Chains A and B, each alone.
Chain A
Amino acid sequence: MSHLAALLMPYRAAFRIRLQQNLQYRIAALAGIATQFFWGFMLIMVLEAFYRGSDAAPPMSMPQTAAYIWLQQAFLVFVALWYRDSEIFRLITTGQVAYELCRPTDLYLFWQARLLAQRLAGALLRCLPILLVALVMPRPYRLTLPAGPAAFGLFVLTLLTGLLVNVSISMFIYILTFVTLSPTGSMLLIGVAGELFAGLIIPLPLMPEWLQRILYCLPFRLAADLPFRVWSGHIPAAQALAGWGQQIAWLVILVVLGRLAMRRALTRLVIQGG
C-alpha cells in the first residue's frame, strides 16, 4: 500500500461507512424527489408568469431558467446548507466528541469526508429520476440539454468543486456548535442566508443588480448558481473557467479559516460530566 493511501485510509473509511448508511435512506429520497418535483414546477410556473407579463427582455431566457430550476432541484442536497448531519451535532452537544478526539485522525478532514459522503449519497438517489423526467417534460417546463460538450464538462467540474465549497461552508455550522452548544441558531442563520445568497429562492440573474454585485463576492453562489448557468451556456466557457478559479480560491480560504476556527474551538473545549 502506498504511503498516501495509508494516510487517507481513515478518511476513506469514514466516507465509505457514511455512503453505505445514507444509501439506505430510500424512503427519504423518494419523499425528497416528490417535494423537489413540486417545487420545481411551482418555481417555473411563477417565473414563466412573470416572464410573460413583462415586455423587457429577461436577463435569462425561459429554457435557461427552466434548466436552472431543474438542476437546482436535482442537486438540492449538493447545494442546500440546511442538509445536515445531525449525528455530528449530537456528538458535540453530548460530549461524545471526546472519543472522536482520541483517534489519530484530523477531525476536520474526518468530518468533511463524512459530510461529502452524505451529500453524494443523497444526490445519487435523487438526481437521476428528476433529471430524466425533466428532460421529457413539455415546454416551457423541459430541461434542455447542456449547451455543448464543453459546457457539460465544465458543469460537472464546477458542480463537484462547488460541492466541496459548500461542505467547507457547512463545516462552520458544526464548529459554531462547539461554542453555542445548540445547532438551531447557526443552522437557521447560515441555512436561510445561504439559500438566498446561492440563488435557491430567486435565480441570481433575476435579482437587482446591486445585490448581484454583492453576491458575486460571496462563496454561496459558487455551489449552485455557477454550475447551473454553465450547463445552459448562460455563463460561457471562458467565464466558467474563471468561476472555477474562484471556487478553488474560496475553497482554500474556507478550509484554512475552518481549520483555524476548529483548532480554536477545540483548545477551549469543555467536556462536561462523566
Chain B
Amino acid sequence: MIQIQGLNKTFTVPERASGLKETVRSVFKRQTRAIHAVRDLSFSVRPGEMVGYIGPNGAGKSTTIKIMSGILVPDSGTCDILGRTPWKQRKEHVRHIGVVFGQRSQLWWDVPVQDSFDLLRDIYRIGEKDYQVTLEQLTGVLDLGPLLQTPVRSLSLGQRMRCELAASLLHRPEILFLDEPTIGLDAVSKLAVRRFIRELNQEHGTTVILTTHDMHDIDALTRRILLIGQGRILYDGSLDDLRSRYEETDLERLAVMLYQEHQL
C-alpha cells in the first residue's frame, strides 16, 4: 500500500554567527548549511495497518508526512502509495488520502464549521448523497452536532480537532496521515480522538500513519512503531518488544532510553 525506498530530502538553511562583524560579513558572503531532513529512508506499510511514527523534534517525521501527502518533492528516492507517486500525480493521489496537521487548521476561521465542510464537499467533488451519509456518520461518532453551526474561531482546541478529523475524512480516504493530532489536547479530548481513530481503523480498515510525541497515543493505538532520528529509520517493530528489551514499563522513560541509545 505504501512503499518508500531510499528517500532523501535536504533543506538549505542560511546560517551565520552572532555579532555585528559576522552580520556584515554575511551581507557579502552568505553561509548556508545543508540539513538532511530524511536520509535514505525506506519502509513499507500494509493495508489496514496503523503505524506510530515517533522521534524527537526535527527528526524528519513531518517531512516524511509532507512528502507522502504530495506537498514536498524529495531530492531522490521513490515513494509508491496506492500505485501512485505523490508529488508526480498529486491531484489524483490526494483524493485517496486524508491529512491532519495538528498544528494547523484546514477550517475557515470566520465561517461556521458546516460552511468549511460544504466547501470541502465541492473541492473533492463529493456527491450530495454520499456527503450527507458521511457527514451524518462523522457527526454522530465525533459528536459534532452542536458544533456545526459555530464559527471555527469560537471552538475550543478539542472541539476544533474533532472537526479537523471529520474534515479530513469527508471524502472517505483509504489512508489517513495524522501529524500530531493530540498536541495540546486535554485528557478527555485525547481519549475521544484516540477512540475515534481506533474505531476508524477497525471498522473501515483505514490505514493510519500517526506522528506524536505522546507515547500513550502509540500505546493506545498502534502495534507497530517506526522510530526516526536524524532522518533515518532506527527502529521498526512493536512497542511490546521494546518494553521487554529495555525492561521498562513507563512509556516516557522508554522513549528517553530509546533516544539515548541512538544518541538523538
Residues of A at under 8 Å CB distance from B?
6, 9-10, 12-14, 17, 21, 94-96, 98-99, 101-106, 266-267, 269-271, 273-274
Q: Which of B110-156 contact A (CB under 8 A)?
A: 110-111, 115, 118-119, 122-125
What chain B residues lie within 8 Å of A10 (beta carbons)? 122-125
By beta carbon, the residue of chain A nearest B180 is A274
Do A105 and B103 form a contact, CB below 8 Å, given A21-B110, A271-B71, A274-B62?
A: no
What chain A residues lie within 8 Å of B99 (beta carbons)? 99, 102
In the bound complex, CA of A103 to CA of B104 (Å): 15
A99-B101, A102-B94, A269-B71 given. 5 additional CB < 8 A pairs? A94-B104, A98-B104, A104-B125, A269-B72, A274-B103
What chain A residues lie within 8 Å of B102 (beta carbons)? 274
Do A12 and B91 form a contact, CB below 8 Å, given A98-B71, A102-B69?
A: no
By beta carbon, the residue of chain B nearest A105 is B123
| Inter-subunit contact B119/A101 (CB<8 Å) | no
Pull 23 A–B residue pairs with CB atoms less than 8 Å apart, ordered by A.
A9-B123, A10-B122, A10-B123, A10-B125, A12-B122, A13-B119, A14-B119, A14-B123, A17-B108, A98-B66, A99-B106, A101-B69, A101-B70, A101-B71, A102-B70, A102-B97, A102-B99, A103-B94, A103-B124, A104-B94, A104-B125, A269-B71, A270-B72
In the bound complex, CA of A271 to CA of B115 (Å): 27
Contact with A273, one of B95, B103, B106 (Cβ below 8 angstroms): B103
What chain A residues lie within 8 Å of B94 (beta carbons)? 102-104
Residue B90 at the chain A interface, CB threshold 8 Å: yes
Do A271 and B66 form a contact, CB below 8 Å, given A9-B122, A12-B122, A104-B92?
A: yes
Residue B73 at the chain A interface, CB threshold 8 Å: yes
Number of A-B contacts (CB under 8 A): 78
| Inter-subunit contact B125/A6 (CB<8 Å) | yes
In the bound complex, CA of A103 to CA of B71 (Å): 10
| Inter-subunit contact A99/B110 (CB<8 Å) | no
| Inter-subunit contact B123/A104 (CB<8 Å) | yes
Residue B179 at the chain A interface, CB threshold 8 Å: yes
Residue B11 at the chain A interface, CB threshold 8 Å: yes
Residues of B at under 8 Å CB distance from A?
11, 62, 66, 69-73, 87, 90-92, 94-95, 97, 99, 101-106, 108, 110-111, 115, 118-119, 122-125, 179-180
What chain A residues lie within 8 Å of B73 (beta carbons)? 266-267, 269
In the bound complex, CA of A13 to CA of B121 (Å): 9
Contact with A106, one of B11, B91, B108, B118 (Cβ below 8 angstroms): B91
What is the minimal beta-carbon distance from A31 to any residue of chain B, in angstroms? 20
By beta carbon, the residue of chain A nearest B164 is A99
What chain B residues lie within 8 Å of A95 (beta carbons)? 104
By beta carbon, the residue of chain A nearest B92 is A104
By beta carbon, the residue of chain B nearest A272 is B11
What chain A residues lie within 8 Å of B97 (beta carbons)? 102
In the bound complex, CA of A44 to CA of B85 (Å): 59
| Inter-subunit contact A9/B69 (CB<8 Å) | no
In the bound complex, CA of A103 to CA of B11 (Å): 24
What is the minimal beta-carbon distance from B41 to any residue of chain A, in angstroms? 18
What chain B residues lie within 8 Å of A273 (beta carbons)? 62, 103
What is the minimal beta-carbon distance from A206 to any residue of chain B, in angstroms? 43
In the bound complex, CA of A270 to CA of B101 (Å): 16
What is the minimal beta-carbon distance from A91 to any residue of chain B, in angstroms? 10
In the bound complex, CA of A273 to CA of B94 (Å): 21
What chain B residues lie within 8 Å of A14 (beta carbons)? 119, 123
What is the minimal beta-carbon distance from B176 to any residue of chain A, in angstroms? 12
By beta carbon, the residue of chain A nearest B177 is A102
By beta carbon, the residue of chain B nearest A274 is B103
In the bound complex, CA of A101 to CA of B93 (Å): 11
What chain A residues lie within 8 Å of B115 (beta carbons)? 17
Do A271 and B72 form a contact, CB below 8 Å, given A98-B66, A98-B101?
A: yes
In the bound complex, CA of A266 to CA of B71 (Å): 8
| Inter-subunit contact A104/B103 (CB<8 Å) | no
In the bound complex, CA of A102 to CA of B90 (Å): 8
What chain A residues lie within 8 Å of B123 (beta carbons)? 9-10, 13-14, 103-105
In the bound complex, CA of A104 to CA of B71 (Å): 12
**In this complex, which of A21, A102, A269, A273 has the most chain B Cβ atoms within 10 angstroms of its Cβ?**
A102
